[in-house]
Structure 1
Amino acid sequence: MTFKKLMMGTIMFASACASIAHADDVVRIVTEGGYAPWNFVKPGGQLDGFEIDLAKDLCDRMKARCEITAHDWDSLIPSLNAGQTDAIIAGMSITPKRQEVIGFSRTYAAPINTFLVAGDSPLGSLPGQGKNINLDTDEAGAQALVKELTPLLKGKVLGVQGSTTASAFAEKYLVNVVEVREYKTVDAHNMDLMSGRIDAVLANAVVLKQSMKDPSMQEAKMVGPTFTNGVFGPGIGVGLRKSDSALKAKFDEAITSAVKDGTVKKLSEKWFSVDVTPSE
């Protein structure tokens, strides 16, 4: 079964707990299903990943009956605002641009982003390796690093997933340095990277680390600095309609509880081998 066909269907789970008062007594959660290990579709057709486990846990804490559906990334916000779904749990970073059209819960994960290149790439020794740049507190450092990266990146082709914080970073910092090529999925730009059609990709470091487990990606390597905050936002949260204040309050309370009792840490270490727990 192809991924496209899976996206046209509905894949759901329901907690065994009593439902909360909401549309049809069901919280309709939507995810992408193509962003491993955050969320993905297993060969048998079931959704899995960090966010699927977390969604189930949050629904239990909210005493909610939930269903989750996998949709194309570009349709997540439109379907939410059209009233077709109630919540987005899909590795979606909280950004000012997105906050113009939807609301968010508090953060449930802290995103880290970096570059990936093929193993024999001349970009294999980008400066800044091992350094993390917080774009909120070290904008000067970010600009200085971009200046240092410019001679190496000039004229290269950078792949990013469209309508993501990675594309926002490229537009702000690298638009006059590289040719930015947008893709529908991470898998698509990774495929072009390994086939030599692009020179590097920029994406969530956890997702890239997972991609490198594929035999076709074993020669790839993450290079240069990591980036947080700024255009990448304060973290990843549940996307909600701005009018759903009651549902936001329930998600906020459930996420805070899962952070405090170590559940988010446990799940992030299970799926990522690193702790992406946000600050409380």
Structure 2
Amino acid sequence: MTLRALFAAGALTLATAAAFVAPASAKEWKSVTIATEGAYAPWNLTNPDGTLGGFEVELTKNLCERLKIECKFITSDWDGMIPALKAGKFDMMMDAVSITPEREEVIAFTSPYAATPASFAVAKDSGLTLPGTGTTVKLTGDAAHDKATVDALRTALKGKTIGIQTATIYTKFVYDNFKDIATIREYKTAPEHDLDLAAGRIDAAFDDDTYFAAAFSKPENANLMIAGPEIGGTIWGKGEGFGLRKEDTELKALFDKAIAEAIADGTVKTLSEKWFKIDVTP
């Protein structure tokens, strides 16, 4: 056999062997590091002893027990959480993160574990009234569909100052619909807009209903109340889920399974009623 023939035969053998190489095994997750803000009660909060608590923390511990995975919790500022996730500083993020098409372009999400409405809040003695108080509406993000609700709120909030936590799905809603008729003030955390609302430095704040329910129970917020309708619907996306990197498909599959089990056996309902006093099961 010539040298050329020997070379060709060897190459064929290597190519044939490569064709039968077993695919890389899926990553086996034994430990997961999960970031949260630790300052968005009752979703997540920091206890006086420095430990983390809240609906999401208790739910996540339950999910990790089901999966027999060790959960490690760390805190991270909300406005840098997605870049830090992509940079590999932790494996998952949970902070009442709404699943939206825009975010799905950047990161992956588990199936939702909650779905909640949002509202404006005002000071009881401010004299500011908003139309639709005590009602619930479903918005889609389509201007024509949402026009009646938004226009009524725009009329009431014209010339006012609205507080909103920075870089949330609610931030976009407020800017899209009120930036031309109201002053918008952003805050790093939700409790900061509560502080200014109670002090009369802003006229209204906009946030998740479940957050306000917990915030209003604090003595310093006794003068605050929901105003206008509870706003739900697909405008907020599919609901709230864990954020993770797109390449971690095995991790997503594990948590999707555990979330489905926790919804089916009533764990999500029980924990949401404990922390929010309402059922936020998606």
TM over 0.5: yes
Q: Which residue of 2 aligns with 1:223?
A: 227
C-alpha separation in 2, matches of 1:109 and 1:42:
23
TM-score (norm 1): 0.88
Moved over 3 A (4+): 137-141
TM-score (norm 2): 0.87
Number of corresponding residues: 256
Query: Per-residue deviation at 1:139?
Result: 5.3
Q: Which residue of 2 aligns with 1:196?
A: 200
Query: Unaligned stretches of 5+ in structure 1?
Result: 1-19
Root-mean-square deviation (CA, aligned residues, Å) is 1.5
Q: Which residue of 1 aligns with 2:20?
A: none
3-state secondary structure, aligned to 2:268: helix
Q: Which residue of 1 aligns with 2:158?
A: 154
Q: Which residue of 2 aligns with 1:12?
A: none
Q: Which amino acid aligns with 1:149?
A: L
Q: Which residue of 1 aligns with 2:169?
A: 165
Q: Which residue of 2 aligns with 1:79?
A: 84
Query: Per-residue deviation at 1:122?
Result: 2.3
Q: Which amino acid aligns with 1:256?
A: A
Q: Which residue of 2 aligns with 1:21?
A: 28
Of 106, 116, 120, 2:125 maps to 120
Post-superposition Cα deviations, 1:177-206, rounded to whole Å, max 9, x if no partner, equal: 211111000011110111111000000011
Post-superposition Cα deviations, 1:154-192, rounded to whole Å, max 9, x if no partner, equal: 010000000001101112222222111110000111101
C-alpha separation in 2, matches of 1:160 and 1:184:
9
Query: Per-residue deviation at 1:138?
Result: 7.6
Q: Which amino acid aligns with 2:103?
A: R
C-alpha separation in 1, matches of 2:274 and 2:139:
28
1:211 aligns with 2:218: no
What is the 5 A alignment of 1:1-280? 21-22=28-29, 25-123=30-128, 125-136=129-140, 140-278=144-282
Q: Conserved in 2, the CA contact under 8 Å of 1:114 and 1:225?
A: yes
C-alpha separation in 2, matches of 1:76 and 1:151:
35
Query: Per-residue deviation at 1:67?
Result: 0.4
> Aligned pair in 2 of structure 1 residues 230, 175: CA closer, same or farther (>3 Å)?
farther
Larger radius of gyration: 2
Query: Per-residue deviation at 1:217?
Result: 0.6
C-alpha separation in 1, matches of 2:113 and 2:143:
25
Q: Conserved in 2, the CA contact under 8 Å of 1:133 and 1:142?
A: no
Post-superposition Cα deviations, 1:98-126, rounded to whole Å, max 9, x if no partner, equal: 11211100000002100100011222x31
Q: Which amino acid aligns with 2:28?
A: A
Q: Conserved in 1, the CA contact under 8 Å of 2:140 and 2:146?
A: no
* Structure 1 stretch displaced more, 149-158 or 38-47: 149-158
Q: Percent identity?
A: 45
Query: Per-residue deviation at 1:256?
Result: 0.5
C-alpha separation in 2, matches of 1:151 and 1:254:
45
Q: Which residue of 2 aligns with 1:3?
A: none
3-state secondary structure, aligned to 1:146: helix
Q: Conserved in 1, the CA contact under 8 Å of 2:141 and 2:235?
A: no
Q: Which amino acid aligns with 2:219?
A: P
* Structure 1 stretch displaced more, 145-154 or 67-76: 145-154
C-alpha separation in 2, matches of 1:67 and 1:190:
30
> Aligned pair in 2 of structure 1 residues 155, 209: CA closer, same or farther (>3 Å)?
same
